[in-house]
Structure 1
């Protein structure tokens, strides 16, 4: 954790622009570090030290930070975890955030989930204002799923995917591509996605595992993923990527497309527009950041409660400091690269 140091004045309401000219319009909010699965690239099966309930941001605190961010040009919020469906107040959080405005327009509120338990909550989430769901699925084979996640829940994940698809709302499926693990299912996963009208996205495995045992040689690269896809489909680049993390290609000219998020082999740091907030109120300027700025003092000040205006100014100061301190890139290829102490489940996707 890093304390707030820089207090350089900036005009109120000005956009969140870093020293490299990147305008930040996307905020990822982790709601919990807990999960119903134990994916090996994310967290260990046992021995996890969880955040205490009292350290988690409340719906009021999440809404307050989001409202300040929206006033500074943030237009989209992604709710992540851990597994956000484990938060009993998830619907309340979605409802509060979707009611906020940025530039006169409602915020886009999306959810990344493993899909377990999703069918029972979808209707109320849509009613609360959720815009889209991203569901993670790395394999379609039951035994392999059990080996990867340490839980026999593939049927539940597939049920969540089919329920989300049946709703007619936008749906994306995410898979971490791993050599000698699921590299023989690249085509199968895309065919599942196209069969339910979803977009499949493959993610290069990143050094974000809690055990810090990531090995670049086990990572399936962007080029290898595209090679596997090109054996089945003719791939045509989709133009207009903008700040999106995924490069996309049309499959046989469309209408279906597939995406690849190549954070390691083809980093897209130059167009990054994202900030991340952990479930315990730590602001991160990068997924691979080794430093965090603490929002909690601005939200839970000791002594007399600050006025709403002064409290919002304190939140804004932390947001601006995080953006000002953002580096040009994550430098995974640098010999000085250090893996974040937190695992992916504690950082948020």
Structure 2
């Protein structure tokens, strides 16, 4: 077997982007992501930081160029900076082109500068409202001033910040232009995400929360001239530029827009499960080959076998007023 050949799936897509959940734990309990009283995984099931290093390094050796670290909240994992520093060595050699992070922002005041110093240049911060009371309600445990201070620390450190906003009907519709204006004022990119049918949280009806981004985009167009951009990252976002402000706005519409044709990514959970598609239940267990052998040959073979099963696309659909393709796992399990 050629151990250096790049990862190519059955549809001739090169897999160059790995999203890695380093923990299922979080210091928030966002209503669309977690139940309030979550049962977290036993420590023994979680990959150690050393195992995460070995796994991610194997993917980098197989041609992955972009690594996005997610959670839960990745920055609440004890000792996580040792893992980031380990990945920083791949940035130094050029084997890894980008190391990024998706965070709720709560810990950025502590970690923004160290992250920049090891080579990170961009981060995504999840933030769905700029109002204290609504922020407390949707995150259950979060405090908005702490997050805003973290965002400011990230910008001061030199990190490029993109704000991710989940579009929630009846919750943040009235803040559309406030959030857009705030991001423009601070020179931050902005991406809106349609709520997805994942996990049974017991107290939230996803159909009631569903705010189509086609509607959100139409509202933006009442005040701004929107120019579609041809930019593609291999991911789900489609971008426009607001001509009046120069802002770049992204739209992630997993329910109303099929973005699978150019999918170049896979997702690794904190327990070593590799999901080849966010919208499918199929996964490959990489923890067993990782722990069963000190030699990476077994692990690389398992990775290649998994990529050979990557499907062409997924099937989320709200059109019949029921959720087809609904996933049974929480968003926090696969890292958002």
**Equivalent residue for 2:100?**
110
**Equivalent residue for 1:4?**
none
**Equivalent residue for 1:316?**
300
Structure 1: gaps (5+ residues): 1-9
Q: Structure 1 residue 150: deviation in Å?
A: 1.0
Q: Distance in 2 between matches of 1:241 and 1:254?
A: 21
Q: Distance in 1 between matches of 2:284 and 2:129?
A: 36
1:251 aligns with 2:242: yes
Q: Distance in 2 between matches of 1:27 and 1:131?
A: 17
| Alpha-carbon RMSD | 2.1
Aligned with residue 136 of structure 2, among 106, 122, 146: 146
1:327 aligns with 2:311: yes
> Would the aligned equivalents of 2:254 and 2:316 in 1 still touch at CA under 8 Å?
no
> Would the aligned equivalents of 2:235 and 2:265 in 1 still touch at CA under 8 Å?
no
TM-score normalised to the size of structure 1? 0.89
The equivalences for 1:17-166 within 5 A come to 17-46=8-37, 48-100=38-90, 104-166=94-156
1:344 aligns with 2:334: no
Change in Cα spacing, 1:186 to 1:226, as seen in structure 2 (3 Å) is: same
Q: Distance in 2 between matches of 1:72 and 1:134?
A: 25
> Would the aligned equivalents of 2:274 and 2:285 in 1 still touch at CA under 8 Å?
yes
> Would the aligned equivalents of 1:174 and 1:201 in 2 still touch at CA under 8 Å?
yes
Q: Distance in 2 between matches of 1:161 and 1:135?
A: 8
> Would the aligned equivalents of 1:278 and 1:346 in 2 still touch at CA under 8 Å?
yes
TM-score normalised to the size of structure 2? 0.93
The equivalences for 1:196-211 within 5 A come to 196-211=186-201
Q: Deviations over 1:41-76 (max 9, x none)?
A: 111112x11011222111211111111111211001
Q: Deviations over 1:215-235 (max 9, x none)?
A: 345311121121121122211
Q: Structure 1 residue 254: deviation in Å?
A: 5.4
Q: Which runs of 4+ in 1 moved over 6 A?
A: none
Q: Distance in 2 between matches of 1:323 and 1:152?
A: 37
**Equivalent residue for 2:159?**
169
